[in-house]
Structure 1
Amino acid sequence: MDFKDAVRTCFNNYANFDGRAGRSEFWWWALFCLLGSLILGVVSHKLSAIFSLATLLPYLAVAARRLHDTDRSGWLQLVGLIPFVGWIILIYWLAQEGKSSSRYA
């Protein structure tokens, strides 16, 4: 999946927490969110904040689908609330290869 397809897919599945998302879909979306926030932050901090709020729900949805692809519950995103250690664990899970037979398919 390329950058354009990943962004389109994430906007089409804006609040869809069911199913699976591949590594490329998640990481292209994360790059889109980061670049959009950085570029809009140069223009205006308010625009950056609005963009971040607008992309928060699809970010959570694609992260949940990504965790489903690794046979984990989407609720495990809450581990990211633990400073530093939680972020490392969550990034490790999100970067893992997906399972071929997922219970979340």
Structure 2
Amino acid sequence: MNWFLDAFKYKYLDFTGRARRTEYWMFMLFHFLIIFVLAFLYAILEDVGMSQIGMFLLVVYVLMSLLPALALTIRRLHDTGRSGWYYLLSFIPYIGGIIIFIFTVMDSEMGQNKWGPNPKSAHTDEINEIGKPLDF
């Protein structure tokens, strides 16, 4: 859940740098779960005649999360060594979304690229820090 909240708190409009696969896919997991729950709520409220409330909540969430999701996808493309302009491929019907999906599933480009250092390097990997003594 922290990956999801970080995209809203700290990286709302951050189109620079790189994003790991974990950061991207954990955000997308919670993003789609929230959309699913809000769509389900809309369907329930539609049966009771209050569909405007459900639709309002869904539209507000989608508009609120549009920029963080776009920024995160562009940072993910940067991590694979591609420009953020590759996101425009998603507008190609049928195949564009598949291409972006493949790019976001790919592993990070090793070392530093023109968008910054690899976020998977040893000094930034939280998993490598588990069990180590704290430096004060």
TM-score, normalising length: structure 2: 0.72
- The alignment status of 1:85 with 2:95, answered yes or no, reads yes
- The alignment status of 1:5 with 2:15, answered yes or no, reads no
Task: Write out per-residue CA displacement over residues 27-82 of structure 1, whole angstroms, 9 at most, x where no aligned residue.
Answer: 11111111111111222122112111100000000000000000100111110000
The residue correspondences of 1:20-35 to structure 2 (distance < 5 A) are 20-35=18-33
Residue ranges of structure 2 left out of the alignment (5+ in a row): 42-53, 117-136
> Distance in 1 between the 2:114 and 2:32 partners?
31
- What's 2:39 paired with? 41
TM-score, normalising length: structure 1: 0.91
Higher RCO, 1 vs 2 (CA within 8 Å, ≥6 residues apart): 1
Contact kept in structure 2, 1:33 and 1:52, CA below 8 Å:
no
Structure (1 or 2) with the greater helix fraction: 1
Contact kept in structure 2, 1:17 and 1:62, CA below 8 Å:
yes
- The alignment status of 1:64 with 2:74, answered yes or no, reads yes
Q: What do you get for the CA RMSD once the two structures are aligned?
A: 1.0
Percent of matched pairs sharing the same residue: 35
Task: Say how many residue pairs are matched.
Answer: 102
Computing the radius of gyration from Cα coordinates, the structure with the larger value is 2
